[in-house]
Structure 1
Amino acid sequence: MNTKYIDLINQTFDFPQEEFKVNKGQLHFHGIDLMQLTQQYGAPLKFTYLPQISNNINRAKQWFADAIEKHNYKGSYNYCYCTKSSHFKHVLDEALKNDIHIETSSAFDIDIIENLKAEGKITNNTYVICNGFKRVQYVTNIARLINNGHKNAIPIIDNYEEIDLLSQEIKGKFNVGIRIASEEEPKFEFYTSRLGIGYKNIVPFYKNQIADNEKVELKMLHFFINTGIRDNAYYWNELLKCLKVYTSLKKICPSLDSLNIGGGFPIKNSLGFEFDYEYMIDEIINQIKLTCEEEEVEVPNIFTEFGSFTVGESGGAIYEVLYQKQQNDREKWNMINSSFITTLPDTWAINKRFILLAVNRWQDSYERILLGGLTCDSDDYYNSEQHMNAIYLPKYNKDKPLYIGFFNTGAYQETIGGFGGLQHCLIPSPKHILIDRDADGNITTRLFSEQQKSEDLLKILGYEKQSEPVTSEGLEVAKVYN
């Protein structure tokens, strides 16, 4: 009988796969022996496999190049990385090796851009697409970037006040884009995105605030779908509505030459994941070209903003199963040595699915289980609701430690989880490992951050010994010397 865990995976999925293979009962990820990694650094741990960032960027760039050549498309393609998916320097450093551009969403993003410029990782030729609702600090930082010579910084107008706010601080002429407030899927609780300007209002907005404004030039129309690029009626309908706005604007605004089809690609969330990226890109290029030909306008340069697609598949997390609790005649709870709420918050917040596989003991028999985290919160679990199927893992054996891995976790989890800060029930953030390859293709690893210690959390909470309070007299003395 085929009762081993490896038999279950082989019978259920097309396995092994490009990034996953099993050797001597242990899982390898992109050629990395995960048990060896775990033995070296311990668990729980998180890791980032940096080469996968470049791999995905170059896959997308090649798909667009192929579609542009096939359709004899006259516009250019520009790959942007949206930093909100992961702001870490090691992520930006890897991504920027591949001749890409950047999308920002808040004021402090601009400080990161300036830091990367100082290091030579970004030049004035790099497009910086500034999205988001802009208030004082964000406007000030964008203006500083443009005033210092970064003319390829393009603020995307999100509301009717932003042009005036930017004009007050930017010296000389500057380029802008306009974000379309797309209509949301029918299942949403609201009809229209809170971000951007409505379809029907964009042409009047251009006429009223930009057409006769000698300081501002419209270069880009920004189209963003919250659910991402998917092959369904909703996406294609919204794209065609966007293209109608683009062609109407282009006829009265010669400077408009770019279309940003924001909204990312899905990433692999199970071993059974299927998505035809090449078909989607080919059809998007085709639809844009056909619409522009029908309306007799030039095709736009294409910009995309891929965040999760860029960094998501580079990340993973490894936990140890500490104990098994038999709560009734059917439910077995495998308790991990960390928390889902704190380390993979999307599993808790939006029931997001990640690939889950045993790291070791693939030759052992398996059982159906539930996974529980260490916090005292009843929602700290991972089960079939998130996982797409019932969860099966090698049978618990207190004498044979079991390690499990979650994969493609590289986008959003650290920032949503509050990396370096307080965690629910004071569960410490696990250590984080960076994995790379040297010039000869050999795997290299380095520790990016240690697991949080109690003193780290106590300091945030104010339990560290405080300095003596300053008296009013002391404040007066300080004023004199300052």
Structure 2
Amino acid sequence: MNTKYFDLINQTFYFPQEEFTLNKDNLLFHNIDLMGLVEQYGTPLKFTYLPQISNNINKAKSWFRNAMEKHKYEGEYYYCYCTKSSHFEYVMNEAFKNNIHVETSSAFDINIVENLLETGRIDKNTYVLCNGFKRDQYIENITRLINNGHKKTIPIVDNFEELDLLQEGIKGKFQIGIRIASEEEPKFEFYTSRLGIGYKNILPFYRKNISENPNVEVKMLHFFINTGIRDTAYYWNELSKCLKVYTNLKKECPTLDSLNIGGGFPIKNSLAFDYDYAYMVDEIINQIKIACDEAEVPVPNIFTEFGSFTVGESGGAIYKVLYQKQQNDREKWNMIDSSFITTLPDTWAINKRFIMLAVNRWNDSYERVLLGGLTCDSDDYYNSEQNLNAIYLPKYNKEKPLYLGFFNTGAYQETIGGQGGIHHCLIPQPKHILIDRDENGIVATEVFSQQQTAEDVLNILGYNRKKQE
């Protein structure tokens, strides 16, 4: 009878997979011994596998290159990293090894861009696309960047007033993009995105404010769907409307030569994940070319702003099961040595699911459980997998510690949870390590941040001010 945890995973999914394999009954991630990490660094533990950032960037580049060659598409492709997914320097260092560009969301992003320029990680040929709703500090920083000579800075105009604000500070001619306010899926509580300018208003806006303005050139239209790039009638319909705006504007605006289709590539959230990236890219390029050929306008250069896709699959977290509580005749709670609310906030805030697997004891029999965090909040739990609507793990045995891994957690979790800050119930931030490989493929690890101490927390809360004075 197949009663081992390995049997369960093997029967439910295709296993092993590209990034997940086994060494006896211990899980390997990209051939990295996770139990070795546990033994060296302890738990709870956050980790970032840096090579996966470059892997995903180069996969996307190859999909677009192949699609453009197939359809004889004459435009260029530019991969931008959406910094809001993870602003950390170690992410930037890895990402910008790959000749990519950058998309910003707020004022302090520009300070990061200036640091990247000063240290040579990007240069004058790097596009800086400035998205988001812009007010004083953001406008001031964008203006400074352009006036200091970075001419490939392109503010993406989000509303009618922003153009005037930019013109007040920028000296001489500059380029802009215009964001289209896409319509949301019917299930949303609102009809149109709060970001951007409506489809019907873009051409009148251009005619009135830009067409005869000697200092402003429209280079780009920006199009983004909140639910991401998916093979649905809704997505293709919105893309079609966007292309109608592009071709109509192109006929009147000769400087327009680029279409930014935003981000939205999903990342793997289950061992049963199935998404045909190459098909989606191929069909997007095909649809753009058909629309432009029919309108008799040149095809645009294509920009993307992948954030989660860039960094998400590089991250992970490992926890130890501390104790099991039998709360009634059906529910067993495995208590972990950290908190979901604080370390994986999306599991609590938007009910997001990550890949969750046992790190060890794959040859033991399994049971159905719920996972509980350490805070005294009733919402600090994780109770189902994407496919199974339940969690099955090797049976609890206090003599044989069980470790759990959550994978593809690299986007947003540190910034939403708050790196180095105060967390719910003062649960400390876990130790975080970076994993890399040298030119020979040898794995190297280093500690990025230590687990928070009581002293760290008291300092933030102000209890040690008088001592420090």
User: Are 2:270 and 2:386, in contact at CA under 8 Å, matched by a contact in 1?
Assistant: no
User: Are 1:226 and 1:263, in contact at CA under 8 Å, matched by a contact in 2?
Assistant: no
User: Are 2:272 and 2:387, in contact at CA under 8 Å, matched by a contact in 1?
Assistant: no
CA distance in 2, matches of 1:169, 1:456: 41
- Relative to structure 1, the CA distance from residue 388 to residue 119 in structure 2 (aligned partners, 3 Å threshold; closer, same or farther) is farther
* Structure 2 residue aligned with 1:250: 250
CA distance in 2, matches of 1:418, 1:79: 28
Query: Does 1:146 find its partner at 2:143?
Result: no
* Structure 2 residue aligned with 1:33: 33
Letter in 2 for 1:133: F
Which runs of at least 4 in structure 1 moved beyond 2 Å after TM superposition?
A: 385-389, 465-469
* Structure 2 residue aligned with 1:444: 444
Q: Structure 1 vs Structure 2: percent identity of aligned residues?
A: 77
CA distance in 1, matches of 2:200, 2:328: 58
CA distance in 2, matches of 1:385, 1:95: 30
Query: Does 1:166 find its partner at 2:142?
Result: no
Task: Please give the secondary structure, in 1, of the residue aligned with 2:219.
Answer: strand
* Structure 2 residue aligned with 1:63: 63
CA distance in 2, matches of 1:351, 1:386: 10
User: Are 1:436 and 1:443, in contact at CA under 8 Å, matched by a contact in 2?
Assistant: yes
CA distance in 2, matches of 1:388, 1:353: 12
CA distance in 2, matches of 1:348, 1:388: 19
* Structure 2 residue aligned with 1:192: 192
Mapping for residues 307-456 of structure 1, pairs under 5 Å:
307-384=307-384, 389-456=389-456
CA distance in 2, matches of 1:136, 1:272: 46
- Aligned residue pairs total 469
* Structure 2 residue aligned with 1:93: 93
Letter in 1 for 2:110: I
Deviation track 1:119-151 (CA, whole Å, cap 9, x = no partner) reads 100101000000000000000000111111100
Structure 1 residue 468, shift from structure 2 partner: 9.9
* Structure 1 residue aligned with 2:290: 290
Task: Please give the secondary structure, in 2, of the residue aligned with 1:405.
Answer: strand
Deviation track 1:218-261 (CA, whole Å, cap 9, x = no partner) reads 00000011111000011000000000000000000000000000
CA distance in 1, matches of 2:127, 2:256: 16
Task: Please give the secondary structure, in 2, of the residue aligned with 1:133.
Answer: coil
Query: Does 1:464 find its partner at 2:464?
Result: yes
Letter in 1 for 2:76: S
User: Are 2:385 and 2:391, in contact at CA under 8 Å, matched by a contact in 1?
Assistant: no
* Structure 1 residue aligned with 2:212: 212
Task: Please give the secondary structure, in 1, of the residue aligned with 2:154.
Answer: strand
User: Are 2:184 and 2:193, in contact at CA under 8 Å, matched by a contact in 1?
Assistant: yes
* Structure 1 residue aligned with 2:112: 112
Deviation track 1:264-295 (CA, whole Å, cap 9, x = no partner) reads 20000000000000000000000000000000
| Structure 2 spans left out of the alignment, 5+ residues | none
Structure 1 residue 465, shift from structure 2 partner: 3.3
Deviation track 1:439-469 (CA, whole Å, cap 9, x = no partner) reads 1110000000000111111111111132799
Letter in 1 for 2:384: S
Per mean C-alpha deviation after superposition, the further-off stretch among 459-468 and 290-299 is 459-468
Deviation track 1:380-419 (CA, whole Å, cap 9, x = no partner) reads 0001276753100000000100000000000000000011
Structure 1 residue 214, shift from structure 2 partner: 1.0
User: Are 1:268 and 1:408, in contact at CA under 8 Å, matched by a contact in 2?
Assistant: yes
Letter in 2 for 1:26: N
CA distance in 2, matches of 1:420, 1:209: 45
Structure 1 residue 117, shift from structure 2 partner: 0.6
Letter in 2 for 1:49: Y
- TM-score (structure 2 length as normaliser): 0.99
Task: Please give the secondary structure, in 2, of the residue aligned with 1:161.
Answer: helix
User: Are 1:353 and 1:387, in contact at CA under 8 Å, matched by a contact in 2?
Assistant: no
| Structure 1 spans left out of the alignment, 5+ residues | 470-482
- TM-score (structure 1 length as normaliser): 0.96
- Relative to structure 1, the CA distance from residue 385 to residue 278 in structure 2 (aligned partners, 3 Å threshold; closer, same or farther) is closer
Task: Please give the secondary structure, in 1, of the residue aligned with 2:8.
Answer: helix
Query: Does 1:4 find its partner at 2:13?
Result: no
Task: Please give the secondary structure, in 2, of the residue aligned with 1:275.
Answer: coil
Deviation track 1:342-391 (CA, whole Å, cap 9, x = no partner) reads 00000000010100000000010000000000000000000127675310
